[in-house]
Structure 1
């Protein structure tokens, strides 16, 4: 909802000006009070009477949006003028203009406020005569995860599953393509994932991989995804420089002589198969390629028949699926059965629609009166052709969202179709856009994570990947939901993300504030020929620019109010970027034309919160002294930079404490002095590299790390040949008790020393002991250590031969990963008795270590622990 987002954002702007130690402008206190009262009043109105989808609501909220944006434009324009030299005094002509102009805006908003008072009076009279529409739990209230959030398979045809499994595992021996065909939202991907995860599939194939294709496919990215799926030891970094042909050749060599299964999810065109098929060898050993598609014609093109066609659910299966989503195993109360079945019928047998309605019903009051209201507002005559059949149901789910969740949901439309969306990216962009309302006791990132969980709970967004600590790492949005986001966002003038290039696009851009331009909309030729001559003359009101091209270009200076810039590749110089002094979030990927020297003018970015520049290579490190003049910074992610000591305190000059700073990656030779630690009190994530010998290393005070009481994730990587210096640094290494994740590399600690220093950390859940982190042939952890540890990685510690452990040593362990331990004699058999253990991975270790892993697996099978998964590989052919 654009109106609510604008109201909250102006509140943020006012707050940031007031909190800044040296604000670029000053605001009159009476004006701030009057404006804040009006903004709060209008927010409360929208929360109680949110947009219901009617044209009247669109029109009225459009007026609130436009009036609020006028205030936003006025304040931010004066800030930019002031920073660029528009005025030399906070009491000069520029400030007088701001004072007068702001009163005019306040008068306009007060007029709307009076209208709202009248509307509220009318609605309160009407609401006395109507039932409560929905009873939604507010964000932050206690709620258990709903059954709707699980991957429920109720309703899928068991016979269909058996037929597909038989086709995958049976004869003939020649390579086969197996298409699964059905409309969007019918459950093709769910069915394929269910089959893909079956033990019989894992046992029948030597190697398997999953790749998402989508409508706007990229052959190189598909090959990359297949390789990463085939070999868990590969990383995107290691494959980044390979061409499409080189990646394809690597796929071919990996699959050659092996029995493989490749799943290609959401294929739209025979063209992508024509470009990929040469990389999939026919080994005449029963290899299979399973494809999901909406297009029956594609199945005919591939195999000459319909393949396995998925049908809509009948009324009984629809009701069973809805019941399972809403009530789990408890079953539906008798008084809701009749009306519940009517609601299920309205979904027309589409599992996606049932899941969405299930998420809606879980969060609403479970009374016949409330369910009847929902049933009456679902239009049973929705167009049954193509994806439009779901839009009514999806729209209802959107309009049922609490008002504070609506901008978050709509914003998911900025991400490309089928993208594996990092949660960290979602969170920082929501924060930068300014539509998150603060909650007492929580930072904005925690608020964003709460909001995301609520959207997941309602099945509007799905969890795609979890990290080693089980925290959600990435999510996905179904293309039908994304379509809804883009349609509604464009109606509300919230996001402009054209899906098809058209001549009118340039004219439409002129009035937009958040613009998303992708290579799927503009070919590179169209972009170069049509948009660049337009000079990237984006409108002066644009606030967010998100685009991905092989060569992106900086917008013109007319877009001076820009506050979010996300670009895959940008051809420019740093000094040109920092002309946009209103930036809150700047994230750029690597390009050879990017000059990485940060100008001193960087500190003019008075409200910068996020600075992310992924260089993709190790260039010469640089210092970033301007960071101490940017108090609103929250996240800094760069490739190797020196974090300098803060400047000495000068009389009559503000002292900048970076209270908002939470992330610092990757800091080179961090001195960790007392004056630094005091000025970054709330740091949560820190990644340190010590790899260049300089005289200052002996001044490092790594014992001060223990004073960072909010630090949750720490990575320390040492690459120093000077043994005395390394020994000095490591001996002073102290860890705060707040740590939840720790990664060490080349620290060369003794095993006992590591256990005593690390094992006592009470909250530690993830420990990664990487290359040469520990030395010595034997590790004997003692009882009482590593009590909270869930994930343990030991990688490339060649000294380790004997490891003695039992279930009392790692009582909470869920995942154990061992890699490149050539001398390890065996994995302690007692590890298998840990009740929480779910997986053991042994890769490129000694033969005896792999044998012991299989003994643990066999032992657990004997005792009925079927949940424990053991994966072991010794060489390129696996075992």
Structure 2
């Protein structure tokens, strides 16, 4: 974590020295010295970060380095606030005028003094670095010291008896089925993927030891790879085990063989054999790449079974051999309870007075076997004492730091310490969110960027780099995918396992990464850099001098903050804040204190009652994200055009209950006519298509060539040609939302667009004469929503050959009597909504159409009397919903089910729901 902080400050120092050299004067000399020394220290910090838990003195040294990095950042920001801000605002970059106009030289002397003090501290910690570097100079010393403080119990999974294991029957059966496949010869790789503690090693060991597997292969080898494997040692061990199994001596000169010679030996040994080799706990794709050519792919019949926490490793290893990937799932609720009772009550049943506490504990474990075993074993020592159990539950976060729980925490920590420096801060950032919180990907990405965690990469936007970070955390199984877009792997909502979240909180407190205020007398540490508020600020005690505060974030407040508390939040720091997330916390007007925050990059006002944006918004020259979703703001001031660094602007507002897709359930916002000057914009969602004398918003949009997401509302018919012209200029556009001015005003979008943008999501709301021709050329389109379109001709003919369409919604979009899904159409479609099609009487599905469809939903199609003809052809359909259809349809459906046989076309669909609307509430029945 300290490595991350130092790397961030080094990058900033280098840029600061380069950009402000003429302003810095003598300050620059100290800045260069600090930069160079921190650069030397950074090389050792990765080792120090890993070892600080076992060496209190080293831990103190690491803390000192981190504090120095933070202090250097503070000085830079104070300098920019004092001088660079004035240059930008008042003197238009004229350096000479800044020097002439300085009235307070004391501020400059103060900054110079602070840099000098930091220089002295850097000298001191540099001496300490050499001392610790000598101590931890050899890997033998490192491993020996670590082993003396913690027993690595991962190997115990190999010794568990079958009766001690819960919930492996189905995954074990699947793996054995793959291993027993009667295929002639060759090599296949099976990858078992899942987070630490999920039981991958235990499962594979039970499969490996199964008699049906043993008899299927002539050679069997189990190899633990681990994070710090050495190729030569791994190959020597593998060779010894291979030859030992057939009672042969190791080859002569094995100790002197290099890696290539040993791989050649393994290859020849296995050439005409059937074999199973397990590579347990693989942490690097390089480990597989270094070994893969040691295993013959012809003339033999072999399986490599890999266990790993990394999705990318599992995919890379299995895909090249046309093998299999098994994503190991957590235990079910019943399996979790069985395992827990086995450990906590020694196989007995749970006493009735502990049932509720057990439910809460198991909810936190979320089916993670290791967590269940560790916590269950610990609670077994409490002798079923309800008071002791309650104490444990109430202090679970503190208990995680106890010796009893160290096994689990260390297992999680392995993943944390393995993170590259640029991901450690991103991972710890999940501590700002409440437990079990569902986190929007877009919000998270923008926050990471504003905090300065994202490193620029040539040829990529900061947002693209941040999304790579997110995918890497997902790949490492450190965060979970809670929701996806269009059935792809692109995350929309992510979350963190509750116990992993507790570990993150522990690390975060230790590193003073964030202060969490949730009432109950929380005290803000004097050097708090981030303050996050969960639920309430009442009873919170702030310390004097929160001069280091960089971020204030509010989540899930029951009521907006009072003016007193807002003033306390915004006035407590030194105006260096970069992030201000006030979701639901503001009632009425935006406090003036906000507009004094020169460094502010992220301003979140979602779900507040703010009614207008004052002209002072023009002072926030560094603002990159402005979130005004679901506020009462209906017009933006012209001063917003001064924010030339603004990249993301959200101004739409949902009205009424979400999920009811009426024409006017979303309201937009008026924007200044010259909005095209905000050339950095990547997101512009919710503006209205207004017009001035000599220009229109839709023409200005063509100037925003960086746009990736665009939502425009109140489009008039005459705006259509200009909008189509502008869209041809937006060559990076991925998401497009268009809504007409009135429910009966046609959107004229029939004009050709060449080239077309790489749009993946298209949402058209309002009347169309027909499906625009240019939609056919959107080969990257994955999601299409046509709402209130009132098209007379069957739209499916225009859409059926979209090669990557996964999600289709037709809501009040078609006024014909029938929809015909023809063969070979919609080859990748996985989800379809047919809603409020008032004239629709029948739906026909030809064999070969929608071969991968998983979900079908029909809503408020009152004239439909029969299930879609040919629905039995949809062999992958998992769920079908009929909502608010006619009583005749429901009656017919029930009769068909009762008769069964050929009459019941839905027999192979696992989930069938009938929803009905009653008194504004939906009632769901399973059929």
Question: Match of 1:509, SS?
Answer: coil
Matches within 5 A, 1:248-259: none
1:739 to 740, 746, 759: 759
Cα distance, 1:500 vs. partner? Answer: 7.1
- Cα displacement (A) at 1:689: 0.8
**Do the aligned partners of 2:343 and 2:373 also contact (CA within 8 Å) in 1?**
no
Residue 438 of structure 1 corresponds to 456
Cα distance change on mapping 1:155 and 1:842 into 2, 3 Å: closer
Q: In structure 2, how many angstroms separate the alpha carbons of the residues matched to 1:430 and 1:37?
A: 26
When residues 700 and 106 of structure 1 are mapped into structure 2, their CA distance, relative to the original with a 3 A threshold, is farther
Counterpart-to-counterpart distance in 2, 1:62 and 1:104: 17
Asked if 2 retains the 8 angstrom alpha-carbon contact of 1:857 and 1:868, the reply is no
Cα deviation 1:541-598 (Å, max 9, x = unaligned): 1111122431224224341112111123124535332122221211123343x35233
2:622 is the counterpart of 1:607: yes
Distance 2:450 2:864 in 1: 52
1:788 aligns with 2:821: no
Residues 768, 496 of structure 1: alpha-carbon distance in 2 compared, 3 angstrom cutoff: same
Q: Which residue number corresponds to residue 493 of structure 2?
A: 474
Following superposition, the deviation at residue 9 of structure 1 comes to: 5.0
- Structure-2 change in CA distance of 1:17 and 1:759 (3 Å): farther
Query: How do residues 369-380 of structure 1 correspond to structure 2 at under 5 angstroms?
Result: none
For 2:76 and 2:406, the matched residues in 1 are separated by 42
Contact 1:24–1:606 under 8 Å retained in 2 = no
Secondary structure of the 1:794 match is strand
Offset, 1:492: 0.9
Mapped contact 1:663–1:683 kept (Cα < 8 A): yes
The 2-side partners of 1:804 and 1:672 are apart by: 39
- Residue 493 of structure 1 is aligned with which of 512, 515, 522? 512
Instruction: Give the distance between the partners of 1:563 and 1:184, measured in 2 at CA.
Output: 49
TM-score (norm 1): 0.64
Q: How does 1:25-44 map to 2 (within 5 A)?
A: 36-44=35-43
Does the aligned pair in 1 maintain the 2:739–2:764 contact within 8 Å? yes
Q: Is the 8 A contact 2:785 2:809 kept in 1?
A: yes
Q: Which of residues 670, 677, 686 is equivalent to 2:702? A: 677
Q: Go from structure 1 to structure 2 and tell me whether the alpha carbon gap of 1:742 and 1:113 turns closer, same or farther (over 3 Å shift).
A: farther
CA distance in 1, matches of 2:127, 2:550: 29
1:607-653 CA-to-partner distances (Å, cap 9, x unmatched) read 22211123345x5x3134334433332321123333435489xxxxx
| Contact 1:4 1:43 survives alignment (8 Å) | no
Contact 1:665 1:686 (C-alpha < 8 Å) held by counterparts: yes
CA contact (8 A) 1:796 1:821 kept: yes
Give the Cα–Cα distance (whole angstroms) in 2 for the partners of residues 294 and 444 of structure 1.
Answer: 52
Matched residues, number: 661
1:28/1:802 Cα in 2 relative to 1: closer, same or farther (>3 Å)?
farther
How big is the shift at 1:74?
0.9
CA distance in 1, matches of 2:420, 2:463: 19
2:560 equivalent in structure 1: 551
Counterparts of 1:310 and 1:573, CA distance in 2: 43
| TM-score relative to the length of structure 2 | 0.61
Q: Residues 10-89 of structure 1 correspond to what in structure 2 (within 5 A)?
A: 11-12=11-12, 15=15, 36-47=35-46, 50-52=49-51, 53-54=53-54, 55-82=56-83, 89=97
Is the contact between residue 815 and residue 840 of structure 1 (CA under 8 Å) also seen in structure 2?
yes
Q: Do the aligned partners of 2:673 and 2:700 also contact (CA within 8 Å) in 1?
A: yes
Hey, what does 2:355 align to over in structure 1?
299
CA distance 1:26–1:613, change in 2 (3 Å): farther
Distance in 1 between residues matched to 2:142 and 2:916, nearest whole Å: 72
1:181–1:296 Cα contact (<8 Å) kept? no
Cα drift, residue 836 of structure 1: 2.2
Structure 1 equivalent of residue 795 of structure 2:
779
Q: For each residue in 1:699-757, what CA deviation from the matched residue of structure 2 results, as whole angstroms up to 9, or x when unmatched?
A: 9544211211111111111133684xx55566588883311111110041314xx3x22
Q: Choose which of 706, 719, 722 in structure 1 pairs with 2:728.
A: 706
Matched, 1:720 2:775: no
Match of 2:581 in 1: 566
Q: Specify which of 774, 781, 799 is matched with residue 815 of structure 2.
A: 799
Equivalent residue number for residue 359 of structure 1: none
| Residue among 611, 634, 637 paired with 2:647 | 634
Does residue 749 (structure 1) correspond to residue 764 (structure 2)? The answer is: no
Kindly indicate whether the alpha-carbon contact (under 8 Å) linking 2:739 and 2:766 is maintained by their aligned counterparts in 1.
yes
Q: CA deviation at 1:383?
A: 6.2
Measure, in 2, the Cα distance between the counterparts of 1:860 and 1:486: 42
Matched, 1:458 2:480: no
Distance 1:72 1:450 in 2: 26
- State which of 859, 872, 897 in structure 2 corresponds to 1:843: 859
State yes or no: 1:8 paired with 2:15. Answer: no
Query: Which residue does 1:223 correspond to in 2?
Result: none
Which one of 821, 825, 830 corresponds to residue 809 of structure 1?
825
Paired position in structure 1 for 2:898: none
Structure ranking higher on relative contact order (CA contacts 8 Å, 6+ apart): 1
Which ranges in structure 2 are unaligned for 5 or more consecutive residues? 92-96, 145-225, 230-282, 287-309, 319-323, 379-399, 653-667, 691-695, 878-901
SS at match of 1:767: strand
What do residues 827-849 of structure 1 show as CA deviations (whole Å, max 9, x unaligned)? 23127643322221212224537
Which of 574, 582, 597 aligns to 1:580? It is 597
Deviation at 1:351, TM superposition (A): 11
The alignment partner of 1:405 has SS state of helix
Deviation at 1:449, TM superposition (A): 2.5
- SS state at 2:651 partner: strand
| Structure-1 separation of matches of 2:526 and 2:485 | 41
Distance 1:858-1:403 versus aligned 2 partners, 3 A rule: closer
CA contact (8 A) 1:497 1:515 kept: yes
For residue 815 of structure 1, report the CA deviation from its aligned partner: 1.2
Distance 1:183 1:410, change over 3 A: farther
How far did 1:389 drift?
6.8
Contact 1:64/1:112 (8 A) holds in 2: yes
CA distance in 1, matches of 2:459, 2:618: 29
User: 2: CA distance between counterparts of 1:595 and 1:134?
Assistant: 57
* 1:513 pairs with 2:529: yes
Distance 2:571 2:5 in 1: 25
Change (3 A) 1:595 1:107: farther
Provide the C-alpha distance between the structure 2 equivalents of 1:26 and 1:865, rounded to a whole number of angstroms: 80
- Distance of aligned partners of 1:351 and 1:699 in 2 relative to their CA distance in 1, 3 Å threshold: farther
Distance 2:2 2:869 in 1: 55
Secondary structure in structure 2 of the residue aligned to 1:788: coil
Q: Distance in 2 between matches of 1:312 and 1:707?
A: 50
Q: 1:16 to 1:800 in 2, by over 3 A?
A: farther
Partners of 1:2 and 1:494 within 8 A in 2: no
The answer for unaligned runs of 5 or more in structure 1 is 162-178, 188-292, 323-343, 354-380, 649-655
Determine the structure 2 residue equivalent to 1:403.
421
Cα deviation code 1:396-435 (max 9, x no counterpart): 4433433332222221111112212222222222222112
Q: In structure 1, what is the Cα distance between the partners aligned to 2:684 and 2:25?
A: 31
CA separation of 1:613/1:780 partners in 2, compared to 1, >3 Å: closer, same or farther?
closer
Please give the alpha-carbon distance, in whole angstroms, between the structure 2 residues aligned to 1:427 and 1:814: 27
Q: 1:658 aligns with which of 673, 679, 683?
A: 679
Q: Name the CA distance, whole Å, in 1 between partners of 2:860 and 2:720.
A: 37
Cα deviations by residue, 1:76-95 (Å, 9 ceiling, x for unpaired): 11222337769974434466
| Residues 460-469 or 94-103, more deviating | 94-103
Asked whether the 8 Å contact 2:621–2:643 carries over to 1, the reply is yes
- In 2: Cα distance, 1:308 partner to 1:711 partner: 45
Q: How big is the shift at 1:96?
A: 7.1
Change (3 A) 1:424 1:633: same
